[in-house]
A and B are shown apart, each in its own frame.
Chain A
């Protein structure tokens, strides 16, 4: 491959600017994982079916596997690595996931957490049934769902207070 097929792009990820050269067909997910070493965002299906690759783009939850990296140019991307504070203080959702044991293998967890943060921000954490519905796009094969609901409920209360 010649470098001509690559294009330079700038991505703002977790508040930092990254310059990279990628083919236009590179997804945001693969740019994060393979080009920037940000492997916290997971690839479960590569087809927008499982939610493991959920990140925030301009504050909204987005499936990174269905987003081309070039589409994220000029927009603010937040991945799981950017959720805790610089000093390591966990986001309320992260802390609630740990306390409620809302994961087992951990592979869907970054996507669940990014979805949960958005779910609360969207105002869709008003009841357990609402949480279940608005978290239904993130599959968890270990079956942590009841604990995920408990964690989102707990974090929503903490965020509100």
Chain B
């Protein structure tokens, strides 16, 4: 549970009178004060008596079997409480997946005997202190029978993989139309393994009290993870409490309970002590999956004016030997441009890797690298401006679903972005703009992300002192949930945002589904709005009808609440504070739990809604197709001699519908753009081809952008409220902005140098 009092003495934060507190206002982060003073306690920072410390030991081969584990030295090391291995760890039950698919009736061992990737958990040491556990873990000797590994997609043993028929999207006759098109381009685009690399490593504290399990763990999905822990250990869902007050970044990686969590919870049960287990930074590269490496071919057939006649797209992503991850590579390809003929198919290829996972805009991001690079290539082939070719092929409706867009401000994004960037001053020829030794390139690309929707729930309480409490087991990992829910409750109830306390990150609160796919803000503002409206209705009804109320004699049909005070809309009669009203009618609180589920939903359906993603609402449900949109205009400077690329200017125009808090939304957009700059220029998991290891599994060698890599970034909102996407008119924010950044940079690099780089990241050796 986390409480944020909003009185933090910031002088320029603004108050109710300047509109910052209402939905859509630029209220500063209400969870800011604890974060800037060090008071914010993240999950594994809870100080518990009797805490023991666990450290994982991971496999050093990518394929084969553990022959034996010599734990003698480790067990006799100072302070060691237990060494867990596949030989002595008690089995758990296999849990259902995130769709809720019933699991096989088979045991689950979070420490492996059969090795399918390097870095797999094979043992764990638990000791009295962290230092003792680290030292003893180094004494565990594992011997293996090694087998040949498929190290990555380019491995000769990898093969063509498994067709994923559900990914096939086809209309018209794409192959024939391509063959008949007067202008044809065909190219292959590759993206490497990339890693979420949140600044807070994954870890947890697990504590058992009888058959009750409490887990303090950074989590994008408390209820989903609680379900998994409950199923693993065969205890009721209600017996598991997840606590995740702050999350030090997730980017898709903290939504699921993982093997290390099972190990810690097993150790805690065996030792009857709370156990803390935090991955080392290197372990975060293999303890869960980053973005899968991908390969795409994009062929476009067009007429002489650049009007697309056909797109044929083939994609491949890697997955693990025994897990399945599909990175939907045709997702952007199939909706960005109008085309009468289209074909997209996808395979997955098994390699000896941890199963890949979700990383900011899974699917849409690598998909956009393909199509948004290819459309740029087509522009040069036809000889027209890269912005013009996008307008000529503008999709006036969803070309795949054949439905109207709910809102699509992409044309506006192109216009506003181009104007602010100065696109009209671009010299079209590659290598035609320079500043001394630096070649200058200007590139454009679009991005998109579907509006993912779900049902939500929230508790709103009006307390005796007139303050308001909002509770939800949803979370804030920096997107601004604490803040926008305070704004939503304040606006709905007519109280100052200062009087609203938002409590998140505890699975005992009103349930919440996954924080992922940019769905949470839309879901939760809707749920809080509904719950707060119910609380307001009850408050007003009390004021009108209770004989003890000062408004009883007024015989009003309704009352208004503004700035925490209740009055008649006609201005006659008394005006009292909420606290005074509650005191007069003898109530200490008004409580309303609101949810947006269909009214006749069963308990099972509610459980399923919050603990799986099976009840998510399709973004093409009904008459509309719902997406967020953006256009990135990017300038690069390429050193002509050394091939070094610097991004020197970014202007992005984005359509996320209505923004609940533009100040925080702009921060998220810029963060997505910066991660996109990393993807374009820096980020690549490098595989040792002999051992199948990620050799750059640390923050010095896996390069994420630093402050010195990033220029000023201008973001402009071109969105309009979208009533089909959410209760309050917003679309997705967090995933969107990374989509299209890498192709915009690749396109700018082509404009600067005349070299088309189709393999990310764009590093200097590819340019010289």
Contact = CB atoms under 8 A, between A and B. Distances in A.
A1, A83, A141, A148 interface centre (most CB from chain B within 10 Å): A141
Given A1-B78, A106-B246, A142 B671 contact: yes
Interface residues of B, number: 70
A105 B706 contact: no
Nearest to A25: B131
Contacts of A17: none
A156 interface: no
Contacts of A146: 670, 710, 712-713
A103 B37 CA distance: 13
Interface stretch (B28-36, B525-533, B616-624): B28-36
B476 to A, nearest CB: 9
Interface stretch (B9-17, B446-454, B565-573): B9-17
Contact of B700 (A47, A104, A105, A138): A47
A147 B131 contact: no
Nearest to A152: B707
A40 to B, nearest CB: 2
B32 A98 contact: yes
B717 to A, nearest CB: 15
A81 interface: yes
A41 to B, nearest CB: 7
A39 B42 contact: yes
A50 B706 CA distance: 10
Contacts of A88: 9
> A interface, how many residues as a size bin?
35 or more
A127 interface: no
Nearest to A106: B35
B364 to A, nearest CB: 18
B38 interface: yes
B199 A46 contact: no
A109 B37 CA distance: 9
A139 B704 contact: yes
Contacts of A81: 37-39
Nearest to A113: B36
B155 interface: no
Interface string B353-366: 00000000000000
B199 A98 contact: no
A44, A106, A109 interface centre (most CB from chain B within 10 Å): A106
A107 B199 contact: yes
A106 B248 contact: yes
Given A39-B42, A144-B667, A138 B699 contact: no
* In the complex, the 5 A-B pairs of residues with the closest C-beta atoms, listed nearest first: A40-B38, A104-B478, A107-B248, A143-B674, A143-B671
8 contacts: A47-B699, A52-B199, A90-B36, A104-B480, A105-B199, A105-B247, A107-B199, A143-B674
Interface of B: 8-13, 28-29, 31-33, 35-42, 45, 47, 78-79, 128-132, 135, 196-201, 246-249, 251, 278, 280-281, 477-480, 663-664, 666-668, 670-675, 698-700, 704-710, 712-713
Interface of A: 1-2, 5, 23, 25-26, 30, 33-34, 37-47, 49-50, 52, 79-81, 83-84, 88-90, 94-95, 97-99, 101, 103-110, 113, 128, 131-133, 135-149
